[in-house]
Amino acid sequence: MERTLSLDKTLTPVLFIAYQFPPRGGPGVHRSVNFVRYLSQYGFNPIVLTVRKEDYKNADEQTDESLLATIPENIRVIRTKSYQPLTFINRMNQLRIFRLFWYFLYPIFWERTARWPFKVTKIAEEEIKANNIPIVYTSSGPFSTLFLGRRLKRRQNVCWVADLRDPFTDAYAWHFPSKLHWLLARRVEKRILAKADIIIVNTPEVKKLFLQRGIGTENRIQVITNGY
């Protein structure tokens, strides 16, 4: 499902991957929607890859239809299925055995959105080829979008800019099946972020921490705070 568009050929296209995008509401979308709104003023044309409207509702996520009006009409928005295994998770939760899957099959069930990057790779690749896109931007969380960024960089030889709206394993808000899983996630996080051309974080304190952890260098980690 796509919006109509009229691309300005003088602008550099950017594949803007934001799983959380209007009509989803909540704090995670404002950064993406505002970047999309103003990027064309600075010579870039974002092509947004996100999730179908109805899938946010099916997943019981907050929605705010009024935010759709803030997206410029000429921006192309590609919407895909969310591929969240909601029925399976709900069933397993009812049987009180989801924890077993989470614990022993963590690479599959670590995030509800874990399948999305792999399912939409083909769509993203076709878009990159069709529009000669040189830059892929990923907005995380969900952190599974980092896998998509890394895949596209490797397979399509594009620049990958990874924007972390929040830190992942350093944040207190995320739960892991055990400390062992957390340590594993931490290693994977470091290895994936090492592949990004630029890592954007949203506070100077996170940059300091990432430098201490050896995740990137002074130049590769940039701070862009949120805004209004």
Prior bond of 142 cis (ω within 30°): yes
- The reply on whether position 204 binds other proteins by CB under 8 A is yes
Size of the site for other proteins (CB under 8 A): 62
- The reply on whether position 225 binds other proteins by CB under 8 A is yes
Q: Rule CB under 8 A: which of 117-156 touch other proteins? A: 132-135, 137
Among 6, 10, 96, 173, the residue binding other proteins under the rule CB under 8 A is 173
Question: Per the structure block, which two tokens stand in for 206?
Answer: 């996170």
Among 4, 10, 41, 94, the residue binding other proteins under the rule CB under 8 A is 41
Among 10, 95, 157, 214, the residue binding other proteins under the rule CB under 8 A is 157
Task: List, edge to edge, every strand of the sheet that includes 76-80.
Answer: 76-80, 44-51, 12-18, 135-140, 159-164, 198-201, 221-223
Among 120, 161, 193, 215, the residue binding other proteins under the rule CB under 8 A is 161
Sequence-separated (6 or more) residues with CB below 8 Å from residue 167: 201, 206, 209, 210
Least distance from other proteins to the Cβ atom of residue 50, Å: 17
Least distance from other proteins to the Cβ atom of residue 67, Å: 6
Q: Identify the DSSP state of 42.
A: G
Among 7, 8, 43, 187, the residue binding other proteins under the rule CB under 8 A is 43
Contact range with other proteins by CB under 8 A, out of 2-10, 79-87, 108-116, 175-183: 175-183
Q: Which residues of 21-31 are buried (b: 16+ CB within 10 A; e: fewer)?
A: bbbbbeebbbb
- The reply on whether position 111 binds other proteins by CB under 8 A is no
- The reply on whether position 106 binds other proteins by CB under 8 A is no
Prior bond of 149 cis (ω within 30°): no
Q: Identify the DSSP state of 2.
A: B
Distance CA 159, CA 221 (A): 14
Among 159, 184, 192, 211, the residue binding other proteins under the rule CB under 8 A is 159
Closer Cβ to other proteins, 95 or 172, answer by number: 172
Among 83, 174, 184, 190, the residue binding other proteins under the rule CB under 8 A is 174
Closer Cβ to other proteins, 119 or 205, answer by number: 205
Q: Is the dihedral of CA 195, 43, 73, 29 positive or negative?
A: positive
